[in-house]
Structure 1
Amino acid sequence: MDVDHAVILAQPYAGLEAQARGLAERAGLVPSVHALVARRPWHWLPAARWPAPLHAIAPLGQLPEGLVLGVGGVAAAVGAALRRQGRQVVQIQNPRMRFDRFDLVVANTHDEIVGANVLLSRNALHRVGPTVLAAAREVWAQHLAHLPRPLVAVLVGGSNGRFRLDLPTGQALAAQLAGIMRSERVGLALTPSRRTAPEVRAALAAALSPLGAWIWDMQGDNPYFGLLACADAIVVTADSVSMVSEAAATTVPVLVAPLPGRSRRIGLFLRTLQQAGRIRMFDGRLQHWPTEPLDDTPAVAHEMRRRLGMADPVAPRGLGHE
């Protein structure tokens, strides 16, 4: 096996790919991404029920040598099939099938799973680290230099199966953000996501742009890493474990804006970070407290290499594993 290469298998979603890229890069591996697209009629069935996963997806062709990193349920089915053919496979996220079908399973503590080959992380795996942030700061500091300090970065998600970010919720969030701009005289830079509804983006812009906020219009280069790198504080909506995890990997206070809805898993995740002192819930006030980055991704990467016998390990810090 080429120990310097990682073969990433995931459905074509940026969030899934980012988790695997983050793990690969922190482990010192060069990643190549191979998108998984289910074929008819198999796309109607859960991947765990596919009798022949390698025939249920569009042909992958000849995969390069290297460690296979699969992310998500479809990748779990394909990765298990590849492992039966002799590949070394690490599954990211709960595979919803027997863990012994993989060399390692990397999941989150809020997934509430245990196993001899399971590594647990308090946060979602991601690419945000000192090198990425320094590079983003180099590019974006000049674009945001006209804004007052302290600078509050706002990361806005959207409605999903667990939480709702509709127009009334967006208007309420906009009013809170406008309030801290007026009372604290802070600068504010906001980036919506692809999941943010157009009417919510419009409401945020209508309330905040007249006060001098910088709001990404979804055109040109994505400022996401730049906002993380340049912020003095971060407000992030509660719908996304990935966005909260990436914000928590910075050095600044992170305030999580609650949304209508409920998720046991995300609730457990947020409580873990609250108990660690890394985040607080946003109630319309800007709060400051001593903070340090919370990021288990490097520790997971080192432990993965040790478990797979890939190199002399660096002792992981802060890693929960069973």
Structure 2
Amino acid sequence: MPTWLVTGGAGFIGGNFVLGAVARGVRVVNLDALTYAGNLDTLASLRDDPRHVFVHGDIGDRGLVSRLLAEHRPDAVVNFAAETHVDRSIDGPAAFVQTNVVGTLALLEAVREYWASPAADAGGPFRFLHVSTDEVYGALGERGRFTEASPYAPNSPYAASKAASDHLVRAFHHTYGLPVLTTNCSNNYGPFQFPEKLIPLVIAKALAGEPLPVYGDGRQVRDWLFVADHCAAIHAVLAGGRVGETYNVGGDAERRNLEVVEAICALLDTRRPRADGQPHAALIRFVADRPGHDRRYAIDAGKLRDELGWRPEYGFERGLAETVDWYLSHQDWVRRVLDGSYRLERIGVAA
């Protein structure tokens, strides 16, 4: 049974990845700082599963990370740990630099030390996979897509901090030979996403009958990637990716933000009609645009497809419908996030 150290595995993408990895037969040591975005409710099904070892801690704690590496001797480290919300990075960029840059550096140092030891070779080739974002590339015009050769041009504190972490990962490979892989993904959506992001936010507000805020004119374009497809791509890169390479992961599903909101409203109209008989789209309100809001992102995932045979299985319509249905059937999970009670019950967490 392979063992992987997964950082940030109580978050949205990390949590989905951990659930899938354990189901595939991987033993996961899950290190998460349990900031506001870390939610042990997401991992409730693994509570008594010996293949899942949860550790409450920070990637910036080199002593803790070194101890976990020495004790569990993982075959791979998969780094999801990051502050990710653009609006929060605008309000407080220091936390993003601390976690995404300083924390990643500390993690890399601990991993490099472990990789140089005999323990790292005991179970086969070791890999460090760093999960990043398409936002490091900046904004696109009306045409074209980001490739792995696109220049970095981050436009938000969040994107700048992720770009810095990507550069550190690359440098540790070229300077020290650390066997790294990097993935840069487009906008993820799906189950267990924290309701500050667009899709779960709109679902929650629509069900509550509250205004649905849309930045600017709502014509910003994003490439939407269902989280299960992203997790499958990471598995593919871990299994067959070339060391030192970057792989872009996209859903081939460009949509304007307003289109996404309207599609959610249409799904809710059939599944949870409003009591007053009005369509949910009547709740849409345009609000002042986010500072420095990038107009368009789109990913060319051709390298991942051609080299490793990965393709997204979920079209946007199917993925969005399954996402809406998941939130409708998991309102207790949403309620505990919205009222904060998910942060109050962290009994039995290892230190």
TM bracket, shorter-chain basis: 0.3 to 0.5
By percentage of residues, which structure has more helix?
Answer: 2
TM-score w.r.t. length of structure 2:
0.31
TM-score w.r.t. length of structure 1:
0.33
